[in-house]
Amino acid sequence: MDISGFSLDLFSLKGRNAIVTGGNTGLGQAFTVALATAGANVLVPTTMDDGGETAALVERAGRRLVIVEEDLTAPAAPSRIVEQCVNAFGSVDILVNSAGINRLAPLEKFGRELWDPMVAVNLTAAFELGQEAALRMMPQGRGKIINIASLFSFLGGMSSPAYAATKHGIVGFTKAYADELGSHGIQVNAIAPGYFATPLTEATRANPSANQRIVDHIPAGRWGERADLMGALVFLASPASDYVNGHVLTVDGGYLVR
C-alpha cells in the first residue's frame, strides 16, 4: 500500500471478533468498550459480575458481547474460551490478555502462596490463551495479540516480586511470539499502562502524600483515566498497526522519562 491508499478505515475493526480477559472490570472494561466502539464483537471470560454494565456499554456501540464464566487457571480453560469465541462469532481475530492480580507483602512474608496464583493468572494464562488463539489465527493469515504489561515490566516492585516478575515475563513472551508469528501475518504487542485512576488505586489516591508523590513523577501532572488507553488499544488491534510487531507501548503520561 502506498501513501495514497491511507484511510481512516485502517482503524476500523468491523467484522473482527475479540477476546478480552478481565474485560468487564477496570482497565479491561475500557478495552472491551474500545474494541466494540471500533466495530468488533467481544467475548469476555470472567468470574466477576458487573451487573450488566459492560453489556449495556457494548450494546450502545451496536456490537455483540458474550460473557462466559471461566477461571483462566482452570484445566483446558484457554481452549474452551477460544472455542466459545469461534462458536459465538465465527473466528478469533484479536486477543487482549488483560486479566491480572497483584498481592503485596514484605520479602520475609512473600511465599509461594502469593507467588503461584499471580504467576498462574498474570503469565501462564496469557501464554496458554495466546497459544490457543494463535493456532486459530495462523490459518487465517492474520491476527492481533495484545498483552497488558505494566511500568513494572521495566521497574522493580517493592513488596511484590511476583508482579514484577510476571510483567517482565509478559514482555519477553510478547517478543518471542512476535518473532515466531510475524511471518503468519499476526502481530503481537503489549501496552504498559502507568498509574491509572481505578478502584484498585483508590486507596493510594486517597492518601495525600502518596498521591502527590506519584503525580509529581508524571510529566502530564495527573493520573491516567481509562479512556487514555482506548485509542492505543484500537491502534494495536487494527490494520493500522500491521507493521508494528514486538513493541511495548507505554501509556504513562511520561512517567518513565522523569
The catalytic residue positions are: 163
Identify the DSSP state of 44. E
Distances in whole angstroms, Cα of residue 41 to Cα of each of 16, 84, 89, 244: 7, 13, 7, 23
Contact 234, 34 (CB under 8 A): yes
Listing DSSP states for 104-165 in one string gives ---GGG--HHHHHHHHIIIIIHHHHHHHHHHHHHHHHT-EEEEEE--GGGTS--TT-HHHHH
d(CA 74, CA 66): 19
Listing DSSP states for 48-64 in one string gives ---TTHHHHHHHHTT--
> What are 20's strand-pairing partners?
96
Distances in whole angstroms, Cα of residue 36 to Cα of each of 62, 94, 100, 166, 196: 8, 12, 21, 28, 22
